[in-house]
Every structure is written in structure tokens, then in C-alpha cells.
Amino acid sequence: MDDKVLEEIRFHQDVVTKDANSPLFQIREKEMEISGRVLAARQQADKVVSDARTKAASIIAGAGSDAERLAKERISTIEAETAATIESIGQDGAVEVEALKKTLVERQGDAAEFVVKLVTAV
């Protein structure tokens, strides 16, 4: 049993055998009442601290899952942007290749003439 509980039991046993109106009894009774209030306040404070710790753990866990969700969303956004950029570069490259092919066809005759002049000039 708790020491406080044993002390209360002894006190009440002493009171039964002695005068309940004595100043010493009244002081002791007040001490016991205050002690009970302190114990109740301590238990309430412990519960508040425990609840706060539980809530903090919940917030931390929630923050972790929120961070993970936001990271996944950001990754998806970056992947979509990257895919769009790749597609755009591919299209720009295809347009540039077609322009170069057209220039090649246009300059092929000039290149042939240049090579013939080079060979015949020697």
C-alpha cells in the first residue's frame, strides 16, 4: 500500500481515539486535505503531460506522412515537367533535322560541283 494511504489510515484511527476538535487534529486534517489536493493536481499534470506527448507523437507522425505525400507529389510534378521537356526537345530536334535535310538536298548539287572542280583543278 502507498505510504500516504497508510498514514491516512493511522491518522483516522488516532482521531477516533482522541479529540476531533483539537487544533492539532484540525491542522493535521488540513495537511491531509492539502496533500490530497497536491496529489490530485500532480495526477492531473501527469495526464496533461501524457496527453501532450501523445499529441506531439501524433503530430510528428502526421508531419512525416505529410512530408512523404508532398515529396511524392513533387516527384510526380517534376516527372511530368521532365517528360514534357523531353517531348518538346524531341519535336524541336525533328523540325531541325527536317530543315537540315532540306538544306542538304538544296546544297548537294553545289557540293558535287565543288568536288568536281577540286578534282579537275589538280
For the chain, the domains span 3-120
42, 2 Cβ separation under 8 angstroms: no
7, 29 Cβ separation under 8 angstroms: no
Task: Kindly indicate the confidence band of residue 18, based on its pLDDT and cuts at 50, 70 and 90.
Answer: low
Cell of 78: 517534376
State the distance between the two ends of the chain, measured CA to CA, in whole angstroms. 120
Which of 88, 4, 8, 10 has the alpha carbon at shortest distance from 39? Answer: 4
- pTM for this predicted structure: 0.45
Cell of 2: 502507498
Q: What is the pLDDT of residues 64-81, one digit of tens each?
A: 888 889 999 999 999 999
**pLDDT reported for residue 28:** 78
Q: What is the pLDDT of residues 37-57, one digit of tens each?
A: 898 999 999 999 999 999 999
